[in-house]
């Protein structure tokens, strides 16, 4: 179980009928309701594999996995911050492209 040094408190709201069922299950296992719920949640969380991706795309677009693409994006961000860029309207883009 977790030590006192790495525990965070969080109040949760559950429907009354859910709490009643959980209370019955806790008593059947000889545990307090609090301990029973904590055990279930800790067990469930430990069973889930969590991976942190460096890919900023919500869809996981593989384009963002290429370090050269990310470097290009970072250069563009730096250009924006340094004022070395200009925003164009769609009409200006069409005119520049001749379309």
| Residue 3 pLDDT greater than 90, yes or no | no
pLDDT class of 6 with cuts at 50, 70, 90: confident
Q: How far apart are CA 66 and CA 78, in angstroms?
A: 19
Which residue, chain included where needed, has tokens 């869809």? 59
Model pLDDT for residues 16-29, shown as the tens digit of each residue: 999 999 999 999 99
Token duo for residue 66? 């290429």
Q: How far apart are CA 88 and CA 84, in angstroms?
A: 13
Q: How far apart are CA 21 and CA 18, in angstroms?
A: 5
Single pTM value for the model: 0.48
| Residue 97 pLDDT greater than 90, yes or no | yes
Note whether 19 and 33 are within 8 A (CB): yes
Question: Smallest Cα–Cα separation from 12: which of 49, 38, 44, 47?
Answer: 38
Which residue, chain included where needed, has tokens 């900023």? 56
Model pLDDT for residues 44-67, shown as the tens digit of each residue: 999 998 887 778 888 889 999 999
Q: Average pLDDT, stretch 6-11?
A: 90
């Amino acid at each position: 179980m977790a030590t006192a040094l790495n525990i965070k408190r969080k109040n949760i709201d559950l429907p009354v009928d859910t709490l009643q069922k959980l209370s019955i299950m806790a008593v059947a296992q000889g545990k307090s309701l609090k301990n029973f719920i904590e055990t279930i949640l800790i067990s469930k969380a430990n069973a889930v594999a969590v991976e942190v991706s460096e890919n900023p795309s919500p869809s996981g677009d593989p384009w963002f996995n290429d370090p050269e693409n990310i470097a290009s994006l970072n250069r563009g961000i730096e250009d924006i911050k340094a004022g070395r860029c200009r925003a164009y309207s769609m009409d200006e883009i069409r005119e520049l492209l001749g379309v």
